[in-house]
């Protein structure tokens, strides 16, 4: 980990991701960013994602509506907000501003989960080539972030992505099949993914999404 003493721009941020680095702040109000390239990197296999029976039922149901790139600002703000079980965040104002600019440039995307017209869950990340770098997710309703994650995986598969980088592993992500790989292996996977053409499908055909959920479910019973 190393602190950076220079002005970070969207272009420099994208260069860092290409090198396997990502920034984090110590707190929401911190003005210092640190670059990380951990010994073990979290990845979530796009072919090997676990969709439970109950989650599949929720995905087929009408409780939630899901969008992508419809409210990036609201999603990253919710991810950065302090919560009872997480009083502090690594997303400072500079990271929020940088990713909002990356979204404007087409290099960042969000998935939003809605319930009764309210944004109750979601996630965001950066995309380069066939690699997607998941940054953060939030949930204020049961299963809302799970639904967003499943939609992300389905969209990435449809769009031709081959790598979903989760940075670190949490118990929440581990339930879906996320695991750690050594740094050297991650860099090899990243190099391959960056050469893959991919396109983030913000508004895929709903029938295609459902078919993708069904295919994912069959891969990991």
What is the distance between the alpha carbons of residues 147 and 154, in angstroms, rounded to a whole number? 11
Using the predicted structure, report yes or no on whether residue 151 has a pLDDT greater than 80.
yes
Torsion 153-159-164-166 (CA) sign? negative
- Secondary structure E strands in 28-178: 33-36, 40-43, 65-68, 108-115, 118-128, 131-139, 163-167
Give me the torsion for CA of 64, 67, 72, 75, rounded to 10°. Answer: 10
Taking the C-alpha atoms of residue 206 and residue 212, their distance in angstroms, rounded to an integer, is: 10
Spatial distance between the Cα atoms of 130 and 115, rounded to a whole number of angstroms: 31
pLDDT in tens, 70-103: 999 999 999 988 766 665 677 888 889 999 999 9
In order of start, what are the domains of the chain with their CATH numbers? 2-219 (3.40.630.70)
Q: Is residue 118 a contact partner of residue 184, using CB atoms and an 8 Å limit? A: no
Q: Give residue-wise pLDDT tens across range 181-217.
A: 999 999 999 999 999 999 999 999 999 999 999 999 9
């Amino acid at each position: 980990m190393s602190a950076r003493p220079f002005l970070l721009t969207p272009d420099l941020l994208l260069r860092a991701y290409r090198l396997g680095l990502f920034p984090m702040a110590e707190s929401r109000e911190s003005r210092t960013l640190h670059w990380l390239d951990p010994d073990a990197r979290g990845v979530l296999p796009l072919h090997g994602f676990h969709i439970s029976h109950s989650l599949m039922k929720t995905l087929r149901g009408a409780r939630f509506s899901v969008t992508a790139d419809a409210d990036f600002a609201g999603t990253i703000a919710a991810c950065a907000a302090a919560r009872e079980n997480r009083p502090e965040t690594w997303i400072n104002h500079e990271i929020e501003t940088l990713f909002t600019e990356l979204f404007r440039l087409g290099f960042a995307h969000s998935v939003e989960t809605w319930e009764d017209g309210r944004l109750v869950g979601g996630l965001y990340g950066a995309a380069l080539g066939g690699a997607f770098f998941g940054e953060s997710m939030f949930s204020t309703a049961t299963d809302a972030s799970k639904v967003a994650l499943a939609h992300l995986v389905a969209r990435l598969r449809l769009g031709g992505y081959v790598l979903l980088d989760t940075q670190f592993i949490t118990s929440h992500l581990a339930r879906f099949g996320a695991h750690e790989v050594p740094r050297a292996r991650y860099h090899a996977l990243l190099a391959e993914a960056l050469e893959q053409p991919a396109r983030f499908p913000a508004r895929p055909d709903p029938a295609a999404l459902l078919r993708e959920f069904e295919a994912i479910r069959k891969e990991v019973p």
